[in-house]
Amino acid sequence: MRLKNKTALITGGSSGIGKETCLLFAKEGANVIVTDVNEIEGKHVVNQIKDNGGRAVFCKADVSSEVDCKNMVDCAEREFGELHIMFNNAGIMHSDDGDSQSTDEKVWDLTMNINVKGVFFGCKYGIPLIKRSGGGSIINTASFVAHLGAATPQIAYTASKGAVLAMSRELAVIHAREGIRVNALSPGPLRTELLMKFLNTEEKKQRRLVHIPMGRFGEAQEMAKATLFLASDESSYMTGTEFLVDGGITSAYVTPE
């Protein structure tokens, strides 16, 4: 098992990429702290892990809250005594996120508070425990839109993911000699509830699909497998970089005529 004797904290763990990563990490031997604002679904993930012989606990946390982020790390230490992997994955893509003229300040602030501040708080409180545990791996969820922009306007989301990418690079440089690796996972368009609620018409879906060389949306399970690589010792010489898992979209992005 690739994560045997490791402890992993995963935010946004009740659905999508987070849920699939919780299940996979547990299967690979990790103790898992499932965190989310959705207590019902988060506990359901924990039960799935336990039913399959794994070890997991649920910790309710709103990552935009500094207190909650401190509490989720304290939960990891209390339950398992250490922390080796932190996957700062929780994020939103607001349905009212549009271009710079149509997007309300409240949508902008909410997006930044969860997508950017949540990563900052996770690292602020997670890094000291990872250091005390002998080092480990931090993975922050960015996005292909940090490079390309989106065919369907989502100004706050795009800006937030650019911030996550930049923050991940700086964190990696600062903590590299402490045995802590920091990398960003940048998914392409995925067939998850988060994106499908945003691409809520067939026209919007096609505007994305036309740019993807593989001709399909990615799956949450595929992102979980990529995250496993970044979390495991197989990526031991990787830090301060980005893992693009995007179906080729960043290599072949063209604007339709």
CATH number for the domain harbouring residue 161: 3.40.50.720
Whether 110 maps to a domain, the answer reads yes
Residue 134 phi/psi, 5° resolution? Answer: 100, 10
Domains of the chain: total? 1
- Span 67-90, mean pLDDT? 98
Q: Which of 23-27, 54-58, 103-107, 144-148 has the lowest mean pLDDT?
A: 144-148
* Mean pLDDT over each residue of the chain, to the nearest integer: 93
User: Does residue 43 belong to any structural domain of this protein?
Assistant: yes
Q: Is residue 74 part of a domain?
A: yes
Please check the confidence at residue 49 and state whether its pLDDT lies above 70: yes
Q: Which residues are catalytic?
A: 157
Residue 139 lies in a domain: yes
List the domain range (segments joined by +) for residue 123.
7-241
Task: Please indicate whether residue 94 or residue 252 has the higher confidence score (pLDDT).
Answer: 94
The first and second tokens of residue 257, run together, are 């005529």
pLDDT of residue 254: 47
Average pLDDT estimate for 45-66: 98
* Most confidently predicted of 113-122, 182-191, 241-250: 113-122
Please work out, in degrees rounded to the nearest 5, the angle formed at the alpha carbon of residue 172 by the alpha carbons of 237 and 33.
90
Q: Is residue 18 part of a domain?
A: yes
117 part of a folded domain:
yes
At residue 253 the predicted structure's pLDDT band, cuts being 50, 70 and 90, is low
Look at residue 248 and tell me if it is in a domain.
Answer: no
pLDDT 10s digits, 125-137: 999 999 999 999 9
Mean pLDDT of 82-94: 96
What's the pTM?
0.93
DSSP for the chain, written as a single string:
-TTTT-EEEEESTTSHHHHHHHHHHHHTT-EEEEEES-HHHHHHHHHHHHHTT-EEEEEE--TT-HHHHHHHHHHHHHHHS---EEEE------TT--STTT--HHHHHHHHIIIIIHHHHHHHHHHHHHHHTT-EEEEEE--THHHH--SS--HHHHHHHHHHHHHHHHHHHHHGGGTEEEEEEEE-SBSSHHHHHHS-SHHHHHHHHTT-TT-S-B-HHHHHHHHHHHHSGGGTT--S-EEEESTTGGGS-----
| CA nearest neighbour of 144 among 16, 242, 255 | 242
Residue 199 lies in a domain: yes
pLDDT band at 56 (very low <50, low <70, confident <90, very high): very high
Does 256 score more than 50 pLDDT?
Answer: no
- pLDDT value of position 257: 43
